Structure 1
Amino acid sequence: MDLERRQALIDVYRDGLLRDTIPFWCNHGIDYKDGGFFTSLNRDGTIIDTDKGVWQQARATWLFAELYNNVEPRDEWLQLAIRGAAFLDQHCYDSTDGRMWFHVTQDGQPIRKRRYAYSECFAAIAYGELALATGEAHYRERANQAFNRFVDHNLNSVEASSKFTATRPSRGMGFPMMTIATAQELRQSIGLVDADHWIDRSVATIREFHLKPDIECVMETVGVDGQLLDHFDGRTLNPGHAIEGAWFIMWEGHLRGDTNLIETGCQMLDWMWNRGWDEKHGGILYFVDVRGLPVQEYWHDMKFWWPQNETILATLLAHLLTGEDKYAQWHRQAHDWAYSHFPDHKHGEWFGYLHRDGSLSSELKGNLWKGPFHLPRMQYMAWRWLEKDLF
């Protein structure tokens, strides 16, 4: 990756973030009446559903606070983050148990709560960035509370019944992976005192149970002792998810100067690139079977936006940390394929859902799952890595 290529990528990521992605959401996604953010948007930004996903309220709040803290202290961004946090405070907690909702109405009436506690981890990083931006103890306390609720629910949950019986106990990679990312954010924003403990514990869990050197694979779901569950759920791999976890671990290795962590992240990327990259059409597939068998989920071969975002980040970081040419080539493949298929050059932002061949499946720009997070985080982190931290 020569200097010309590096500068071209900086321009793409920086300008895409500041001149396209952020303006799209600021122009179309702000609820000035009830607070928070609309994310169920059509191609041109028109609102097609006023319900609000709590994940997206927290993620958008984090994004605007992150931009305020690390790009430019624009009051507009700070005020949007403050409004987002106010919506979380006022409407997104169940007063009966302290858990956060997953899905609420425009004015914050609760609709649904999930058994898992990922709303809490996204709220934690949002409050953390606002604590850094404002210096207010309220946000610091909220960040700590949300993080503690997230880990406690996953490790010691007694109030929420599982949708599974005890017949086939399993463990998933989502919790340790998201613990790494959340603790990294809170260490930076509020100086989370036990961040390293949670990161070390989570990396050890992934290494022990989910990494399978004998078959060169990162397993999404395994038995409680790490064994392969030879059923649809156990055999299903999520390459984009594993690749996202790979760059979390690589980044931790960079921050600590720990080559073993960098090697673990690169190993995860290597294995899941080989399993997830679509050699026929390009792009990262959504699901694949560990044995190459048919996958149960009908969207298995679609191209969603976020696995491409995470692969762009992981391949870029791997190249910057190791200097290996193969990662530069993989990054070029992932970047070029995504940027030739996902961006909407007429209305801005990216489409979220393509067919396997790259043709458009849906004109949605957002919903309860897609909002201002994976794409702008990718643009911001890639710009930052190329121009600042890792130059």
Structure 2
Amino acid sequence: MELRKYSEFYRKQLLEDTLPYWFPRSLDHEYGGYLLMRDRDGSLIDDDKAVWIQGRFIWLLSTLYNTLEKRDEWLEGARMGVDFLEKHGFDGDGRMFFHLTRDGRPIRKRRYFFSETFAVIGYAAYARASGNAGIGDKARDLFGKCIEYAEQPGLLAPKFTGERPAKGIGVPMILVNTAQQLRDTIGDPRCDTYIMKWIDEIERDFVKDDIRCVMEQVGPDGHIIDHIDGRTLLPGHAIEAAWFILNEARHQGNNQRLINLGTRILDYTWDRGWDQGYGGVYYFRDVYHKPVQEYYHDMKFWWPHNELIIAALLAYLLTGDGKYARMHKQVHDYAYTHFHDKTHGEWFGYLHRDGTPAQMAKGNLFKGPFHLPRQEWFCWWMIDWFAKNK
């Protein structure tokens, strides 16, 4: 692989294409936080605020400050997000909202705790950047609450009746990365133990080596639930799990067990998730190749491609196996050909199966400045790290 070429490409895309689309235009100087629901050209389509992406943009700006250059405007931008969430992001019970008006009035609160996980990584990165010990303590406190929510499901209102109990890979997967980010910024003595606990759960209950598959949802003991929801696979989540595990392998000095686990997950998901006809990653698949419930199952969403670019590159750097270099090039070329908007910058979020844009918006309740800039930042950073630590 031409690693230096890719490193320079990702750095340039991040700083000259992706970030300028969002910053500084998204800073809300009137009410605080960020205005992120934007059309192709950057104009606003809605001034509501998704709590997930407020936390994610805090993380991005703080991470750039911590790892690239100590620019005052990045730190100030991150502070605006922290102040907004501190003022408006939390309900009286300590849980976080999901959807707010521009001035911070709550619209919706969901029955899971991903708002909290993104606040943890944003607050932790900001605490390191700013030296604000109070926000660092808040990040650790929120991490503790996430652990409680994960280990005591009854703390959150159930969505289902309990007739067919299930658990999803999303919780252990996102908590692995939450703990990694917390550990790598301000530290927490719980992180190493819990990271391995959640990785063990993913391997034990969700990875099915006998059918070369990674399940999105399983029964409490890891069995496959043979109903439409239980059979539905989400390749993007499996790919995220793969690179979080591979990154942990790197952190632990090339832990071979974790390299093997991460590459197995990647291999299984590539075989099931890559569209051999048109290219790109399917959004949903069925474990037994049956029809799925969701009508958009064959669309191409932006974020699984960001995760696959990272996962394939990291797998190559850890193993030297040329198939991962080829995998990285294939998804990189597809994504920057089809998702990248060469006129206005950033990426379209949603493509039809044939790779044509389904709509032009760049920001909404779920898409914003996270998966793409994280991919470009991490790939650039990772290539340089491996060059220095061979």
When the two chains are superposed, the root-mean-square deviation of aligned CA atoms in Å is 1.0
1:348 corresponds to which of 337, 345, 364: 345
Alignment of 1:234-249 (within 5 A): 234-249=230-245
Pairing 1:119–2:115 present? yes
The equivalent of 1:260 in structure 2 is 257
Structure 1 residue 324 corresponds to structure 2 residue 321: yes
Cα distance in 2 for residues equivalent to 1:174 and 1:350: 24
Deviation per residue, 1:269-296 (Å, 9 max, x gap): 0000000000000011100000111111
Take 1:276 and 1:390, find their aligned partners in 2: how far apart are those partners? 31
Amino acid paired to 1:341: H
User: Does residue 226 of the first structure (1) align with residue 222 of the second (2)?
Assistant: yes
Match of 1:313 among 310, 313, 321: 310
Partner of 2:140 in structure 1? Answer: 144
Render the CA deviation track for 1:16-53: whole Å, top value 9, x for unaligned: 10011111101432211111111110000000100000
For the pair 1:193 / 2:162, whether they are aligned, the reply is no
Q: After TM superposition, where is structure 1 displaced by more than 6 Å over at least 4 residues in a row?
A: none
Distance in 1 (CA, whole Å) between partners of 2:183 and 2:160 is 34
For structure 1, the 5+ residue unaligned runs are none
Q: Is the 8 A contact 1:320 1:390 kept in 2?
A: no
- 1:268-279 alignment to 2 at 5 Å? 268-279=265-276
- Tell me if 1:65 matches 2:62: yes
The alpha-carbon deviation at position 160 of structure 1 amounts to: 3.0
Task: Report the number of matched residues.
Answer: 387
Aligned: 1:40 with 2:37: yes
Matches within 5 A, 1:92-241: 92-95=89-92, 97-241=93-237
Correspondence for 1:382: 379
TM-score (norm 1): 0.97
Partner of 1:54: 51
How much does 1:157 deviate? 4.0
Q: Who is 1:13 aligned against?
A: 10
Contact 1:283 1:308 in 2 (8 A): yes
CA distance in 1, matches of 2:44, 2:24: 11
Offset of residue 6 of structure 1: 1.8
In the superposition, the TM-score normalised over structure 2's length comes to: 0.98
TM-superposed deviation, 1:388:
2.8
Question: Structure 1 counterpart of 2:64, which letter?
Answer: L
With over 3 angstroms needed to count, the CA separation of the structure-2 counterparts of 1:292 and 1:153, relative to structure 1, is same
**Residue 362 of structure 2, aligned match among 365, 375, 390:** 365
Change (3 A) 1:24 1:273: same
% identity of equivalent residues: 50
Deviation, structure 1 residue 154: 2.4
Amino acid at match of 2:180: Q
In 1: Cα distance, 2:52 partner to 2:353 partner: 27
Match of 1:81 in 2: 78
Letter in 2 for 1:276: G
